[in-house]
Structure 1
Amino acid sequence: MGANISGLVDHEKLTSNMSPLETGLGDLPESCIALVLTHLDPIQISKISRVSRTFHQASLTDLVWEPKLPQNYQILLKNYKNLLSNASDEHLTKKDIFVRLCRPNYFGSSNYKAFWMEKNRGMCVCISWKEMKITGIEDRRYWTHVTSDESRFNTFAFLKQIWWVEGEGNLEFEFPAGNYSVFFRLQLGKTSTRLGRRICTVDQVQGWNIKPVQFQLSTSNGQKASAQYYLNEPGKWINYYVGDFVVDSMQTKLKFSMTQIDCTHTKGGLCLDSVLIIPTHIGPKKSMLTF
C-alpha cells in the first residue's frame, strides 16, 4: 500500500508541471475519489488521505465512512448517551461516529462494562468481575481486590483459598447481527511489579489440576454452550473459550458462568479479570488475546 501511495504522490508532483490543458491526479472529482476509498480499510484511508487536499476532503465524506459503521449504529447512539458529549454532537459526521465507536464506551453509570468496535472486525464487549455475582467475593478471607494495569478496568479479583467457586453474570446489548464468542480471562498466580519487572507468585496456586472448571453460556432465545478446562498454565493471562452464539436481532440477552464446586479439595491462587465477547472470526478458541 505504501508503494502505491508513493507512486500517487510522485505522479501528482509530475502533473503539477503540466500545461493548463493537461489533466492529472488532482483533477479527479472528489466524489470519484470517495467512491474508491469506500473499498479501503480505515488505515489505508488515513494513509491515502495525505496524497492531496482533494483526497483529504474525499476521505472525510459520509460516503466513505458509513459502510464502516455497524448496521445498528443509530440504535447505539440513541441508547448510549456517553457516545455524545454535548447537544452539538447530534450532527456528528460518520467518521466522527466511527472514531467514537472505536474507543471504549461504558454502559450508563457503570465503569465496569464497556463496548467498542475493532475497526472493520466487529463489535466487542468486556465485562469486569465487579459486574458478576461471585461466591464470597466480599469476604477477604477468600478474595482480595488487586489494582493492576494488566486489567482493562484496572482491577482484578484474586482468590486466596476456597472450597468451591461460582461466578456468573449477564449482559443485555444491541449486538450487530453475526456470530460471537465468549471468553473468561483468567490467570493462575498473582502478579506484581518489582524493580520494574513483572513478577508472578504461584505459591497459593492449588486444586485446579484435580477437577476441571466448568464454563457455560446461554441466550434468551435458547442457545447454549459449555466448555471445561483444567487450569494448569500459571503466570500468564489466558482467555478460556466458553462457546459461540448467533445474533439475528439487535437486542441480545446473555448469561455466562464459571464453576468448580467439587468440595473434596480447596482451590486457590486464581486471578479473575473479566469476560470478553468478540466476533467469532477475530481470534482462536483459546488464546492470549490482548483486548
Structure 2
Amino acid sequence: MEGYEGRTDFSFLPEGVIANILSLTTPLDACRSSAVSRAFHAAAQSDIVWDRFLPNDLDDFICRSKPGGLNFDPITCSKKEIFFSLCNSPLLIDDAKKSLSLDKQSGKKCIMLGARDLSIVWDDTSVYWTWESHPESRFGEVVVIVRGCWLEIRRKISSGMLSPTTTYATYIVFKMRERKYFGFHIDFVDAMVGIVGSEHSVKTVCLDSYMDDVIMFQHVSRAGSNHLPTNNMSRLEGPRGRHDGWFEIVLGEFDNKGGDDEVEIILKKVRCTFSKNSFVFQGIEIRPKINPE
C-alpha cells in the first residue's frame, strides 16, 4: 500500500487497526490525525484510542471524589468526552483537598494539593493566617497571611499518584491582594523538591507578583540596606500569570519513576527581614514538564 513519494497510505486499513495505531501515540497526535482523512477522523473518535489515554487508576480517583462531583457520566460518556472533561474541569478528591486533571498534550496526570492538604506552620493561629473562601479557587478554602515573618509549607505525596516515567515540575499557586501587600519584594523564599532519600533540587524564588516593583525597590534601596540579596535580579525567577487568573512559580523538578517513592515539597523562609501580609495561597500543583515543540 504505497502512496505518492513512497509513503504508506494507512487510510486503506480497517478503522480498528488505525485506532490501535493512534492509541500508541499521544492525545495531541490523535487530534491532529483527524484532519488526515475520513478514516483517520473516525478512528480518532474511538474509545479504543481515548481509553488508552485515560489513567489506569481512574476508577480509584472517581471513588475518592465527592458524591455528585463528576462532570461526566462514566457509563454514558465516550472515553474522549471523559478525557477532555478531566483536562478542562479538575476532579476534586480526598474530601476536596486535592484535584486530578490531565495534560491535554500527553494525557499525563496533574495533581494539585489544596492549602488544607498541606502542612503550613502557624496556619491555625489567626494572628498570622486566616482561612477564607475564594470565588476563583477550585478548593473550598484558601489561606491568607495576615501578618507573619516565618513562612514554611511542606508536603509529601506518593509518587504512585502520578504518571510513571515522567519528569514533573512543581508550582506554587497564589495571589496577592492587588498591590496591598508587603514583604515579598524584599525577602525571597527557598524551595526544595525531590524524591525522599535522593538529592533535592534547591532554588530561591521571588513571590512578588509584580516583578517590576522588585527591581525598582532593589535599585533605589541597594545603597541603604544590607538585607537585600546580592544576586542579579535578572536571574531571579518570578511568578507568571495563569489562565485562571492566579499566579504560579516553579519550585523545582523531579523524575517520577513510579513505585513506592515519596515526593517531598518544601517552601521555607525562617529568617526574614520584614513582616509579610496579603499573600493568598491556593495550593501546590504538580504537573508534567512539557518540552516546547
Question: In structure 2, what is the equivalent of residue 112 of structure 1?
Answer: 97
Question: In structure 1, what is the equivalent of residue 63 of structure 2?
Answer: 81
Question: In structure 1, what is the equivalent of residue 152 of structure 2?
Answer: 166
In 2, are the aligned partners of 1:105 and 1:115 still within 8 Å (CA)? yes
Question: Rg bigger for which structure?
Answer: 1
Shift of 1:111: 0.2
Question: In structure 1, what is the equivalent of residue 232 of structure 2?
Answer: none
| CA-to-aligned-CA distance 1:244-286 (integer Å, 9 cap, x gap) | 1111124441221222212553222212111011111268xxx
Question: In structure 1, what is the equivalent of residue 166 of structure 2?
Answer: 178
1:232 aligns with 2:208: yes
Shift of 1:240: 1.8
1:65 alignment partner, SS class = helix
- Counterpart CA distance in 1 for 2:76 and 2:195 is 35
Shift of 1:43: 3.7
Shift of 1:79: 6.3
CA RMSD of the aligned region, Å? Answer: 3.8
In 1, are the aligned partners of 2:170 and 2:251 still within 8 Å (CA)? yes
Structure 1 residue ranges without an equivalent (≥5): 1-25, 191-199, 284-291
| CA-to-aligned-CA distance 1:210-229 (integer Å, 9 cap, x gap) | 33211122323424112112
Which residue identity does 1:104 align to in structure 2? Answer: P
Question: In structure 2, what is the equivalent of residue 153 of structure 1?
Answer: 139
Alignment of 1:1-291 (within 5 A): 29-31=14-16, 33-34=18-19, 37-38=22-23, 41-44=29-32, 56=42, 58-69=43-54, 73-78=55-60, 81-82=63-64, 95=80, 98=83, 101-102=86-87, 103-108=89-94, 110-121=95-106, 122-174=108-160, 175-176=162-163, 177-187=165-175, 189-190=176-177, 200=178, 202-203=179-180, 205-234=181-210, 237-281=246-290
Which one has a larger percent strand, Structure 1 or Structure 2? Answer: 1
Q: How high is the TM-score relative to the length of structure 1? A: 0.66
Q: How high is the TM-score relative to the length of structure 2? A: 0.65
2:50 alignment partner, SS class = helix
Shift of 1:182: 0.8
Query: Residues 29 and 231 (structure 1 numbering): CA distance in 2 closer, same or farther, change over 3 Å?
Result: closer
- Counterpart CA distance in 2 for 1:94 and 1:251 is 29
Which residue identity does 2:282 align to in structure 1? Answer: D
Structure 2 residue ranges without an equivalent (≥5): 1-10, 212-240
Deviates more, 1:217-226 or 1:121-130: 217-226
Deviates more, 1:270-279 or 1:96-105: 96-105
- Counterpart CA distance in 1 for 2:35 and 2:124 is 50
Structure with bigger RCO (C-alpha 8 Å, 6+ apart): 2
In 2, are the aligned partners of 1:227 and 1:241 still within 8 Å (CA)? no
- Counterpart CA distance in 2 for 1:41 and 1:244 is 26
Deviates more, 1:154-163 or 1:36-45: 36-45
In 2, are the aligned partners of 1:223 and 1:245 still within 8 Å (CA)? no
